[in-house]
């Protein structure tokens, strides 16, 4: 089998960083090739070079054996490359069809494409590659999984023979992931399409990839056949040491209820109801996991519990005190630590130093402030202790926090919050985007806090994380809580059904969807009928 793309001796330097160091990488026709590595290993830089976002300082790229110069994404698309980013590049008010042809020249210039013919062509691609989606619906009407299908269709419609998929399952349910792997990937490979698959989830590599290339510190560690390696070996290659993929924990030593929520409701940024009559309890010495697909009310729940968003109804109690609609400062003073879902927007101030970020929220307290003046030495000494204790890789406390890699930024946030010995911890997506080494570290710290008597509310879209860390599990779907269930009484598939809005079927019966999902289907049907009338 011949190579569709070869990258030879690719080297890319940024100020103070050697991102890619003479990398050799190739993908064969019809191959699914996994690209693994820790954050900062050079994966994204390498793919950005291939897709024309960056130019290499050294090395060359060959397409089907011919040396080529890819100066822009436009050049890459013309050569048959397509890239699906982790954060979708779609325009929500536009329809599926409009997003797919956005930026393309019309075959009927100066007129636009015929809408009926365009929809027919999109449906042909949908059927051929198992990417079912209605071309008339607007992006905001689609689920996350459907939006991903649009991104893949957009690349295929533009003639892509090689697809670069960056963390394609990060926001999918297990059922959507299974469909992507068993149907879409299989049909793409059967049609001769090649796939570069970037992921942190080692089990997914073994499900679909035929070969795996591992990067570490900007260099290729090895390229191996999937059948010739193991999860432990891949983790060892990525990190450079033994990694414990399974979290070891004893039974919980539950204490009193530290966090209680009763009948909580809240609206989102658009004024729509995002949380609906949510009730839950977290006790000292346990972890309650909240599972769900992104966009089902997790962010609103996190913000209400930490004083960043008001609730419209219900009651929040922390350590026996009514803290309903209290400020974030008041909630923090109650002994609540918050590891936010968006560490860049909510967790750190990029322009401030590591030392300054390490005391956010407590800087007015001694020893950091004395007689109304900041004690800069005390602040820097505190930061040095946290850097050492939490293994934050940074030259020193006076480096800007924006210079940290994702894993080290998350460690800094974790260090700041846990340094205050919180009685309650709200940890939202604590390992999102982290490599296996940083993920292992963060999970161990959460278990330590639980064993030390903290009440931990874990909000995560990672099912493996929820199942391995949680003592109880609840599912959030369209703003409502389903459960709780015990981790020992539910498997990944069953949890995925709950995340998709289904009630668990009894043996021999089909999945039943709740009433709220029927309402959404009726709303979508009405919108489709309106669209048909307009046409």
Q: Is 295 exposed, middle or buried (0-12, 13-18, 19+ CB in 10 A)?
A: middle
- Please report the pLDDT score of residue 403 as a whole number: 83
Superfamily name with CATH number, domain 1-76+196-243: P-loop containing nucleotide triphosphate hydrolases (3.40.50.300)
- Please report the pLDDT score of residue 160 as a whole number: 92
Q: What is the pTM of this model?
A: 0.67
Residues 6 or more apart whose Cβ sits within 8 Å of residue 502: 511, 512, 513, 514
Residue span(s) of the chain under CATH 3.40.50.300 come to 1-76+196-243, 257-505
Tokens of 363: 């800087």
Per-residue pLDDT of the chain (535 residues; tens, 9 = 90+): 689 999 999 999 987 789 999 999 999 999 999 998 877 788 889 999 999 999 999 999 999 999 999 999 999 999 999 998 877 889 999 999 999 998 887 777 766 778 888 899 999 988 888 888 899 999 988 877 788 889 999 999 999 999 998 878 766 666 677 778 878 888 888 888 999 988 777 778 888 899 999 998 899 999 999 999 998 888 888 877 776 666 788 899 999 999 999 999 999 888 889 999 999 999 999 999 999 887 899 999 999 999 999 999 999 999 999 999 999 999 999 999 999 988 888 899 999 999 999 999 889 888 999 888 999 999 999 999 999 988 888 888 999 998 887 778 888 999 999 998 999 999 998 987 677 777 888 899 999 999 999 999 999 988 888 998 999 999 999 999 987 888 888 888 888 888 877 776 554 444 554 443 444 444 444 444 444 434 4
Range 257-505: architecture per CATH: 3-Layer(aba) Sandwich (3.40)
Helix 231-239 vs helix 436-451: crossing angle, to nearest 10: 100
In our burial notation (b when 16+ CB lie closer than 10 A, e otherwise), range 510-533 reads eeebeeeeeeeeeeeeeeeeeeee
- Please report the pLDDT score of residue 260 as a whole number: 97
């Amino acid at each position: 089998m011949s190579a569709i793309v070869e990258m030879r001796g690719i080297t890319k330097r940024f100020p103070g960083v050697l991102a890619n160091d003479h990398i050799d990488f190739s993908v064969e026709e019809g191959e699914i090739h996994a690209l693994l590595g820790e954050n900062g290993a050079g994966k994204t830089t390498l793919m950005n070079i291939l897709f024309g976002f960056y130019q290499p300082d050294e090395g060359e790229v060959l397409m089907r054996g011919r040396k080529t110069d890819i100066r822009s994404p436009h050049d890459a698309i013309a050569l048959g490359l397509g890239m699906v980013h982790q954060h979708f590049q779609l325009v929500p008010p536009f329809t599926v069809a409009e997003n797919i042809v956005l930026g393309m020249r019309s075959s009927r210039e100066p007129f636009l494409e015929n809408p009926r013919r365009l929809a027919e062509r999109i449906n042909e691609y949908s059927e051929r590659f198992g990417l079912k989606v209605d071309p008339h619906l607007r992006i905001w009407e689609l689920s996350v999984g459907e939006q991903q299908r649009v991104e893949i269709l957009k690349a295929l419609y533009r003639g892509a023979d090689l697809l670069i998929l960056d963390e394609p399952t990060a926001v999918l349910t297990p059922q959507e992931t299974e469909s992507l792997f068993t149907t879409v990937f299989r049909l793409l490979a059967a049609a001769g399409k090649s796939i570069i698959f970037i992921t942190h989830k080692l089990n997914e590599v073994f499900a679909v990839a035929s070969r795996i290339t591992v990067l570490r510190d900007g260099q290729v560690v090895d390229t191996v056949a999937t059948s010739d390696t193991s999860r432990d070996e891949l983790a060892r290659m990525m990190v450079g040491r033994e990694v414990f993929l399974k979290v070891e924990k004893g039974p919980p030593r539950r204490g009193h209820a530290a966090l209680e929520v009763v009948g909580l409701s809240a609206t989102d940024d658009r004024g729509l109801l995002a949380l609906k009559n949510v009730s839950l309890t977290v006790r000292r010495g346990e972890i309650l996991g909240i599972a769900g697909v992104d966009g089902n009310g997790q962010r609103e729940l996190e913000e209400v519990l930490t004083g960043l968003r008001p609730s419209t109804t219900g009651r929040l109690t922390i350590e026996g005190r009514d803290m309903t609609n209290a400020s974030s400062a008041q909630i923090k003073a109650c002994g609540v630590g918050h590891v936010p879902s968006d560490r860049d927007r909510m967790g750190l101030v990029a322009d401030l130093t590591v030392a300054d970020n390490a005391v956010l929220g407590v800087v007015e307290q001694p020893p950091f402030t004395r007689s109304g003046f900041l004690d800069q030495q005390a602040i820097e000494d505190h930061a040095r202790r946290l850097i050492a204790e939490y293994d934050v890789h940074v030259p020193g406390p006076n480096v800007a926090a924006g210079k940290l890699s994702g894993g080290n930024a998350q460690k800094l946030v974790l260090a700041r919050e846990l340094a205050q010995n919180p009685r309650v911890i709200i940890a939202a997506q604590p390992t999102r985007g982290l490599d296996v080494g940083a993920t292992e570290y963060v999970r161990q710290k959460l278990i330590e806090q639980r064993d030390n008597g903290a009440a931990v509310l874990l909000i995560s879209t990672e099912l493996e994380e929820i199942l391995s860390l949680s003592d109880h599990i609840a599912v959030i779907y369209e703003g409502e809580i389903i459960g709780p269930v015990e981790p020992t009484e539910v498997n990944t598939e069953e949890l995925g059904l709950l995340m998709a809005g289904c009630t668990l079927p009894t043996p021999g019966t089909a999945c039943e969807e709740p009433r709220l999902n029927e309402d959404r289907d009726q709303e979508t049907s009405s919108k489709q009928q309106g669209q048909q009338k307009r046409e």
